[in-house]
Amino acid sequence: MDAVPQERAREADRMSGEHLQARNLSWQAAASHIVDDVSLHVMRGELVGLLGPNGSGKSTLLRMIYRILQPARGSVHVEGRDVWQAGARDNARAMAVLAQENSSEFELLVRDVVLMGRTPHQSPFARDSDEDFRIVSEALQRVDAKDLEARMFSTLSGGEKQRVLMARALAQQAPLLVLDEPTNHLDVRHQFELMNLIRSLGLTALAALHELPLAAHYCDRLYLLKGGKLVAQGTPSQVLTPEIIADVYSVRALVRTSPHTGKPLIEFLPDELL
């Protein structure tokens, strides 16, 4: 894309308040469409949830957004900048990612895993500074993992690893977070702590979530995928209705409004599968 149209796109996104804009994304394997013509946007400061059953295309869509999979069609812009035109360092400064594949084993101390988040801010071959170590310590503290700092990452439980990887994303200090099932492996308390933390940061966040009650409580808006297609979008109250849940997840649910929060409360009926 030429410089002038790129600058116009960035200015248009700044004026509209859109931090992330994904337009008409598609990706296929062989003859099968895994993601088919999906568009979404996230406004500055929003926490937006990406929902859908297993195999619906959530992770594939996110991988196109954070530049792991080249879209067959469509575009991704962060603050008006095409992520496929920007350099890796620029993208890392603009967008931090917690991806499912990051659960691979690191033969590193936890502190060193989190320090990896500081790489986009360092000059080549630069030593870690006192400021880097301060940011790492603070990030571990925020995810309740400070006591793990001197442990080997490979010895941690699944939930502990997830919290450390979240600390690494925080240490990156990017204004946009892209999270693929951030509550995976976490117990109920740490699920709430992590989602409360994401909300408290005031950053822009797009998160693929499995737990519909978490999405209902924490997200400003939702996008719902089924078979690689976008089938619903809107506020949690608009998307998480008994009819839509039945259609997409093939389970019956009762949905009422919480008298305490005004947000949807979902009660699944496990004996009434469709």
User: pTM of the entire structure?
Assistant: 0.89
CA distances from 185 to 74, 127, 139, 247 (A): 33, 33, 19, 27
Instruction: Specify the pLDDT at position 127.
Output: 82
Instruction: Tell me the average pLDDT across 170-186.
Output: 95
pLDDT digits (tens, 9 = 90+) for 219-270: 999 999 999 999 999 999 999 999 999 999 999 999 999 999 999 999 999 9
Share of the chain above pLDDT 90, in %: 82
| Segment among 12-16, 31-35, 144-148, 150-154 with least mean pLDDT | 12-16
pLDDT surpasses 50 at 165: yes
Tokens of 164: 């450390």
Q: Using CA atoms, how far apart are residues 112 and 155, in angstroms rounded to an integer?
A: 14
**Helix or strand holding residue 257 (H, E):** strand 251-257
Residue 221's nearest CA partner among 237, 209, 198 is 237
Q: What is the DSSP letter of 210?
A: S
* CATH architecture classification, 3-273: 3-Layer(aba) Sandwich (3.40)
User: What pLDDT, on the 0 to 100 scale, is given for residue 133?
Assistant: 94
Distance of CA 10 to the CA centre of its chain: 22
pLDDT band per the 50, 70, 90 thresholds, residue 1: very low
Domain boundary assignment for the chain: 3-273
Res 11: pLDDT: 55
- What is the Cα–Cα distance from 72 to 184, expressed in whole angstroms? 29
What is d(CA 162, CA 120) in angstroms, rounded to the nearest whole number? 21
Residue pointed to by tokens 């409580």: 217
pLDDT, tens only, 62-81? 999 999 999 999 999 999 99
- Mean pLDDT is highest, among 28-37, 83-92, 104-113, 211-220, for 211-220
Nearest to 67 by CA among 81, 47, 49: 81
Note the pLDDT tens digit of each residue in 10-39: 555 454 589 999 999 999 987 788 999 999
